[in-house]
Amino acid sequence: METLGIDVGATGIKGSIVDLSSGILVGEKVKIKTPTPATPEAISFCIKEMITTLAWENKPVGIGFPSIVKKGVCYSASNIDETFLEFPFQDYLEKELSTNVKVVNDADAAGIAEMTFGKGREDTASLVIMITLGTGIGSAIFYNGVLVPNSELGHLYYKKSIFEKYASNSARELKGLSWKAWAKELNQYFNHINHLFSPDLILVGGGVSKQFAKYSQYLNVPCRLETAQLLNDAGIVGAAMSVHTK
C-alpha cells in the first residue's frame, strides 16, 4: 500500500508517496519553503500544491507537524505561527482537502518510522529515544517499542532558556558555531537526557544527522548514540504510516 507522507518543518515542507511495506519513498520527493507567517491557511495552501504535484488528490494524507498534537489539535507553536495554538488542524485539513488526514507530532512520526524500518527495529525490547535536530529539537520516546507521544525533550530548561535554543541545528547556524563548539552544547544535551532517562539507545535524526561524522568525535555519552538510518526521510515515512494507525 502507498500513502502520501508530508513532513512540515519550520523551514521546509517535504513530501513523498511512501511504500508502507518497505518504508521506501516512491518517486519524487517534493520540497517547498515553509511560508512566513506559517499560518494554517498558508501551510494548507502548500500542502494542496504538493498534492497536485504528486497527483494525490482525494487520497489519505499523513502529516508530521512541529507541535504537540493530540487528536489532531495543536497545543504548542514554538517555531510556527501562534494561530496554531489549540487549532484543530486535522479537521481543518480534512475539510480543505476533502480526504482523510492524520496530523501527528513530527518527531513522533520520525521515531515510528525509525523503529519500524530503521535502526530501532532491533531495539524494541529497550528504551530508545529519537532526537531530531533541525530548526527545533524534537523527541520521540519508545519503551518496548511503544511510543510515549508528545515528549518535547527539546524544551528541557537549559541556561537562560531551553536546550533547543542552544543545541538545535538552527542554533548552530544562527550563531555560526564550529562543529566543535556546537557539539559542546549537544554533549550537554545528550548527557542530560541520558541522566534523566537512562536510555539504551539515542538515535539522532534531522537534516544534520547526515553530517554526524563532523561532530560525533566530540560527543561523549555513556550510552549507545547512533544516527537514524532513515536520516531526514524518517519524518515523511512516519507521517505516511500514521494514517493507518489509531
For ligand BGC, the binding residues (CB under 6 A) are 66-68, 76, 78-79, 105-107, 132, 134, 136-138, 152, 154, 164
Comparison of 12 and 59: residue with beta carbon closer to ligand BGC: 12
For residue 76 the three cell numbers come to 504548542
Comparison of 56 and 241: residue with beta carbon closer to ligand BGC: 241
> What length does the chain have?
246
Q: How far is the CB of 22 from ligand BGC (least distance, A)?
A: 25
Q: How far is the CB of 52 from ligand BGC (least distance, A)?
A: 25
Q: How far is the CB of 2 from ligand BGC (least distance, A)?
A: 25
Q: How far is the CB of 182 from ligand BGC (least distance, A)?
A: 17
Rounded-to-integer distance, Cα 84 and Cα 105, Å? 13
For residue 5 the three cell numbers come to 507522507
Q: How far is the CB of 204 from ligand BGC (least distance, A)?
A: 13
Q: How far is the CB of 80 from ligand BGC (least distance, A)?
A: 8
Would you say 18 and 233 are in contact if contact means Cβ atoms under 8 Å apart? Answer: no
Helices (H) and strands (E) in the chain, counts: 8, 14
Q: What's the farthest any 2 CA atoms get from each other in the chain? A: 49
The SS3 assignment for 123 reads: coil
For residue 202 the three cell numbers come to 539515542
* β-strand pairing of 127-133 with 201-205: parallel
DSSP state of 171: H
Cα torsion angle, 167, 111, 233, 35, sign: negative
Comparison of 55 and 160: residue with beta carbon closer to ligand BGC: 160
What is the number of the residue whose Cβ is closest to ligand BGC? 136
For residue 133 the three cell numbers come to 535536530
